[in-house]
Amino acid sequence: MGIDMSGNEKGFSLVEVMIAVMVLAIAFLSMYQMQAMAVRGNETGNQVTIATMLAQDKMEEIRNTNYDDVTNLNFPAENYGMVPNFPQFRREVAVTENGRVKTVRVTVLWKVVRTFRVSVDTLLTQ
Q: In this predicted model, what pLDDT tens digit does every residue of 53-92 receive, in sequence order? A: 999 999 999 999 999 999 999 999 999 999 999 999 999 9
pLDDT value for 46: 93
Say how far apart CA 96 and CA 63 lie, in whole Å: 15
CA dihedral 11, 15, 16, 22 (to 10 degrees): 140
Compute the average pLDDT of residues 22-43: 88
Q: What is the pTM of this model?
A: 0.73
pLDDT value for 87: 93
Largest CA distance in the chain: 106
Compute the average pLDDT of residues 84-104: 94
Q: Rounded to an integer, what is the distance from CA 107 to the centroid of its chain?
A: 15
Residue 48: Cβ-neighbour burial (10 angstroms; 0-12, 13-18, 19+)? middle
Asked if residue 100 lies in contact with residue 114, where contact means CB atoms within 8 angstroms, the answer is: no
Contacts of 105 (CB under 8 A, 6+ apart): 93, 94, 119, 120, 121
Name the more confident of 114 and 105: 105
